[in-house]
Amino acid sequence: MKRSLLLVAAPLAVALQGCGTFYAEGEQPRVCLTLPPQTFAIPGGGAVAPPGGFNGASSGSVDIGLADVVPAFLLDGPPGNRILHFLSFEARIQGAGLTFDWLNNLELVADGQPGAAPVQLARYARGGAIGATAIHLESLAPDANLADLLASGGLALTVSGDVSVPGGQAVPGTWTATISTCFSAKVHRTLQEIIDGT
């Protein structure tokens, strides 16, 4: 895990106009994590594609441990007081000479806790590109607040895509990539909530 930027806005006590309530705000505009290599299975892969070619799918879950890089006070407390935005995602394939030529598309979804709907974060379509060793995606939902999807300081992401390999070519049984992803976090709490530890 690594931090791209440190906390830039320390909590500030500010008087709300018209009442004696104070609140504190903290923000981390951009924090990036690089995960250890993640391996995803391709069911039916691991052999040479038949003459008609191979079509399949690959999917897996990635646990993003935000608590390792984002200060706890930005993650704790009622979801209504917090904002967590997804910014970007990158998958860099591991292995000499390997590319993403077999991958038609890739979808990134934030999984919800029970009762919370998943959120589509990003999507990739290979099109006519060949030889790519990395996929970089910007957010499709930059304003979506993911705070209510946090669980124990982390966020579960589902990575899924369609696989297509021409006949006679090797179909990978798995693929391994280094995953990097970036978020922004913000919190707003009243002084009383800070005192109460909520």
Which H or E run includes 130?
none
Tens digit of pLDDT for each residue in 96-111?
Answer: 899 999 999 999 999 8
pTM summary value:
0.80
Tens digit of pLDDT for each residue in 23-36?
Answer: 567 788 999 999 99
- Transcribe 151-194 into DSSP letters: BTTBEEEEEEEEEEE-TTSBPPSEEEEEEEEEEEEEEEEEHHHH
Which comes out higher in pLDDT, residue 3 or 123? 123
Tens digit of pLDDT for each residue in 148-193?
Answer: 888 777 889 999 999 999 999 999 999 999 999 999 988 876 655 5
Residue 108 pLDDT = 96
Sort residue 168 into left (φ over 0), alpha (ψ -120 to 50) or beta: left
Mean pLDDT of 124-133: 89
Mean pLDDT of 54-75: 87
pLDDT tops 50 at residue 47: yes
- For tokens 């191979």, the residue is 54
29 by Cβ neighbours in 10 Å (0-12 / 13-18 / 19+) ranks as middle
- Residue 6 pLDDT grade (very low, low, confident, very high; cuts 50, 70, 90): very low
- Give the Cα separation of 132 and 123 in Å (integer): 16
- Residue 15 pLDDT grade (very low, low, confident, very high; cuts 50, 70, 90): very low
Helix, strand, or coil here: 79?
A: helix
Structure tokens at 113: 């806790």
Q: For the chain, what is the mean pLDDT?
A: 83
Mean pLDDT of 121-131: 90
Residue 194 pLDDT = 53
Residue 14 pLDDT = 43
Residue 117 pLDDT = 79
Q: Contact at 8 Å (CB) between 159 and 118?
A: no
Structure tokens at 12: 């500030």
- Give the Cα separation of 122 and 161 in Å (integer): 12
- Give the Cα separation of 99 and 175 in Å (integer): 10
pLDDT tops 50 at residue 5: no
pLDDT tops 90 at residue 50: yes
